[in-house]
Amino acid sequence: MKFFVDTAEIDAIAELHALGMVDGVTTNPSLIKKSGRDILEVTREICDLVSGPVSAEVTATDADDMIAEGRKLAEIAENIAVKVPLTWDGLKACKVLTDEGKMVNVTLCFSANQALLAAKAGATFISPFIGRLDDIALDGMELIEDIRTVYDNYGFETEILAASIRSVNHVLDCARIGADVMTAPPGVIKSLVNHPLTDKGLDAFLADIKAADIKIL
C-alpha cells in the first residue's frame, strides 16, 4: 500500500520523505490555508520535493472553471494530480482532464456508486472518506470493501485512495482490504511505530545495558 501524506507543511513532508515513507502528497484548500502560504507556491515546492503524485484541489464548482483551474494546476509540475469533487460537474471535469493526459483525484466519495462513476469517467484516484462516515455512525471500511469488490469485478484501473484516516487501525484495515493508497496526516503515519511492548522491551534492554556497563563506541 502506498503512503500519501495529507498536509501542506513542507517540513513534515521532508521528514517522512527522508525515511521513504512518502509515495505522494494530498492537499486541499483547508490545508493550504493552514500553511499560510500561496497555493501555487507551496504546491510547486511540494512537487519539487516529492516525485510521486501531488493532489492539488480546484476551488471552482462548475465544470468549465474546474477544467480551467485544473489545467493551470497541472502546469506546476508533471506529478500534479488535479483534485475535483465527486459531483456531476466534477465528473465532467475529470473526463476532460483525463482525456488530456492529466492525473485526476476525485474526492469526497461516500458511496460505491459514486466510485463506479468516477472510474467510468477515467479517474486516476478515487478518495473515499473513511473518518467522515464513521462520524455519522456508518462503517467507512465497508465502503472501501465495496469499492475494492466493484473495481476488481470489472478491472478498473482507478486506484482506491483511502482518505479521512484518523487512526492506526484505519491504516491497518485499509491494508487488509487492499486499498491501493492511504493518505493520512503526518502524526498518524508516525504513530504507526508506536507499541507499548516495544517501549517496555526497550526500557528493559537499556536497564540491562546500564547494569552491565556495555559500550560499543
Q: Tell me, what CATH number does 139's domain have?
A: 3.20.20.70
pLDDT at 36: 81
Residue 156 lies in a domain: yes
Give mean pLDDT, residues 50-76.
97
Whether 8 is in a domain gets the answer yes
User: What integer pLDDT is reported at residue 31 of this predicted model?
Assistant: 84
Domain that holds residue 76: 2-192
Q: In terms of DSSP H, where are the helices of the chain?
A: 10-18, 29-35, 39-49, 63-74, 88-99, 112-120, 130-135, 140-154, 168-177, 186-191, 196-212
Q: Scan for cell 493508497, then name that residue.
A: 181
Catalytic residue among 83, 92, 95, 190: 83
Question: Predicted confidence band at 38 (pLDDT cuts at 50, 70, 90)?
Answer: confident
- pTM for the full predicted model: 0.94
CA distances from 205 to 114, 193, 196, 214 (A): 52, 18, 14, 11
Nearest to 69 by CA among 103, 47, 97, 101: 97
Band the pLDDT of 73: cuts 50, 70, 90: very high
Asked if the structure places residue 213 within a domain, the reply is no
Task: Judge whether residue 168 has pLDDT over 90.
Answer: yes
Residue 198 lies in a domain: no
Banded pLDDT at 131 (limits 50, 70, 90): very high
C-alpha cell at 114: 459514486
Q: What pLDDT is recorded for position 37?
A: 83
Task: List the beta bridge partners of residue 12.
Answer: none
Q: What average pLDDT does range 140-169 have in this prediction?
A: 97
pLDDT at 20: 96
Instruction: Please name which of 65, 75, 119, 132 lies closest in space to residue 100, comparing C-alpha atoms.
Output: 75
Q: Is residue 210 part of a domain?
A: no
* Phi-psi category of residue 183: left, alpha or beta, with phi > 0 → left and psi -120 to 50 → alpha: beta
Contacts of 55 (CB under 8 A, 6+ apart): 4, 24, 25, 26, 27, 28, 80, 81, 82, 83, 105, 107, 125
pLDDT in tens, 6-34: 999 999 999 999 999 999 999 988 888 88
- pLDDT range class, residue 58, cuts 50, 70, 90: very high
Give the count of domains, the chain: 1
- Tell me the average pLDDT across 113-122: 98
Tell me the pLDDT band of 116, cut-offs 50, 70 and 90.
Answer: very high
Mean of per-residue pLDDT scores for the chain: 96
Question: Does residue 178 register a pLDDT over 90?
Answer: yes
216 falls within a domain: no
Percent share of the chain, pLDDT over 70: 100
| Residue 83: active-site member | yes
In a domain, 217, yes or no: no
Residue owning grid cell 460537474:
89
User: Is 212 inside any structural domain?
Assistant: no
For residue 57, CA distances in Å to 18, 31, 40, 84, 167 come to: 25, 10, 11, 6, 24
Rg of the chain in Å (alpha carbons): 20
